[in-house]
Every structure is written in structure tokens, then in C-alpha cells.
């Protein structure tokens, strides 16, 4: 028996003229953040990973604070939530100086976050910390469904490391797809890839970086 195929309407192929006249909403970074990340589009996916105690949360909060100059930021802090450790991290990053309504945080599941982001005037930059906690029991299809459902939002997935790579297959698949990939080690954020320029390492904590360098020298590494 012959296979009956449904008639599918094939859309018109885009030309250079189509994309040339399209305006993309970008983040007009300057100074050290421009040198570090370039001028990214405010949509899609970024990812950062690193071992505990290497400055990962401090880096993400410093970036989140800077981003409040451009858009609302929501931090999904699944690992820490309303705990003293996260309070101290917020204090060190001086988040209290951010204007009211520009930065918020909560610890919530995939479905709860979707409900939050479906609301009017919800945040456009969303930090998910950590990737491993957020996608427990899920697969890469849930990642793509999240991005497809919110095409005009930018997600920053922050996760654990296994060696120099993200921990787990799903986190590594997210790294492969993300527009910006950052490895945080010894209080320095190294850009592995940025599709928007930049590339200069960002020092999260100068003193911590120097202390780690001295430790390595003493060990003869």
C-alpha cells in the first residue's frame, strides 16, 4: 500500500533583504561587559558552569545586576531559595541598590516558572540556577519547549561542572545549543563561545583569583 502524505504548505524561503530589514532587540553593553560578552540579542539561551566555591553565583549576580539597566531580571534560585547563603550573595553583589521591580527571585519548578513568565510585564532575562535541579526527570525537549514558548526572552542556565565540562548530558546538550558559553573557574569567567563578540575573561573576585594563583604556585602547578 502506498503511503499517503499530508499536504504541507511550504513557506517562502527568506532572502538577504528579509533579514537585512529585521530589527533585533539587543543589549547595548559597554565597558568590561562589552569586552566580555559582546552585544548580545535579548532572546535565546546562555549557559555557565563551574565547581562550587569558584565564584559562579557571584559572577551570575554581578551580571544580573548589570542587566537590570536594560530589562527586568528574574532569578530562579532552586538550590538556595530564601536562605542565608543567598542573602549573603545578594549583599555582596549590592542587589539592594537595584531599582524596585527590576530584580526578583524565587525557587520554583518548570511549570511554576512558565506560569510566572506567561504573565504580562514578566522578566525578559531569566536565570535558572541550577540547570541540574530545574530539569530533574526531564529531557532536552523540555529545554526547547521553554525557548519555543518564550521566543522573546533570554534564559541563562547555570550549572555544576564535571571536570571542565557541564555535569550531565542534558546540561552539555544545552551548552552545545547556547549562544554564549561560560566556564567559571578560580573566580574568573572564561567565555568559551560568544556569537556576539567579546571574549575577554571577566575577573569575578580579584583577591580570590590571586589567592588561587598563589596556591597553584605553591603546589608547583
Of 186, 210, 141, 181, residue with least CA distance to 51:
186
Those residues of the chain that have pLDDT short of 50 are 1-2
Residue 209: name the closest of 79, 37, 62, 59 by CA: 59
- Specify if 1 maps to a domain: no
pLDDT at 82: 85
E strand or H helix at 20, and its extent?
A: helix 16-20
Give tens-digit pLDDT for 68-83: 999 999 999 998 888 8
DSSP β-bridge partners for residue 191? 182
* 91, β-bridge pairs: none
Structural domain count, the chain: 1
What was the pLDDT predicted at 219? 75
Decide if 12 is inside a domain: no
Is 92 inside a domain boundary? yes
Does residue 177 lie in a domain region? yes
User: 60, 127 in Cβ contact below 8 A?
Assistant: yes
The domain in which residue 71 lies consists of 41-219
| Per-residue pLDDT, 221 | 57
Query: Does 6 fall in a domain?
Result: no
Q: Is residue 30 part of a domain?
A: no
Omega before residue 137 within 30° of 0, cis: no
Residue 94: inside a domain, yes or no? yes
pLDDT of residue 132: 96
Per-residue model confidence (pLDDT) at position 1? 41
**pLDDT at residue 6, rounded to an integer:** 66
- For position 149, which CATH number holds? 3.40.50.300
Amino acid at each position: 500500500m502506498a503511503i499517503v502524505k499530508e499536504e504541507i504548505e511550504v513557506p517562502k524561503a527568506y532572502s538577504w533583504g528579509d533579514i537585512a530589514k529585521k530589527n533585533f532587540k539587543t543589549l547595548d553593553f559597554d565597558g568590561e561587559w562589552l569586552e566580555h560578552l559582546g552585544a548580545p540579542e535579548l532572546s535565546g539561551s546562555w549557559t555557565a558552569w563551574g565547581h562550587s566555591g569558584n565564584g559562579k553565583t557571584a559572577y551570575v549576580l554581578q551580571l544580573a545586576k548589570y542587566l537590570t539597566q536594560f530589562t527586568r531580571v528574574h532569578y530562579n534560585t532552586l538550590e538556595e531559595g530564601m536562605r542565608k547563603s543567598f542573602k549573603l550573595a545578594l549583599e555582596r553583589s549590592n542587589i539592594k541598590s537595584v531599582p524596585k521591580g527590576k530584580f526578583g527571585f524565587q525557587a520554583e519548578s518548570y511549570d511554576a516558572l512558565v506560569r510566572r513568565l506567561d504573565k504580562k510585564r514578566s522578566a525578559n532575562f531569566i536565570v535558572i540556577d541550577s540547570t541540574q535541579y530545574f530539569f530533574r526527570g526531564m529531557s532536552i525537549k523540555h529545554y526547547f519547549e521553554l525557548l519555543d514558548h518564550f521566543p522573546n526572552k533570554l534564559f541563562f542556565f547555570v550549572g555544576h561542572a564535571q571536570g571542565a565540562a557541564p555535569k550531565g548530558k542534558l546540561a552539555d546538550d544545552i551548552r552545545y545549543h547556547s549562544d554564549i558559553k561560560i566556564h567559571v573557574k578560580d573566580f574568573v569567567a572564561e567565555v568559551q563561545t560568544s556569537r556576539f563578540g567579546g571574549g575577554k575573561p571577566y575577573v569575578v573576585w580579584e583577591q580570590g583569583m590571586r589567592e588561587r594563583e598563589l596556591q597553584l604556585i605553591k603546589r608547583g602547578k
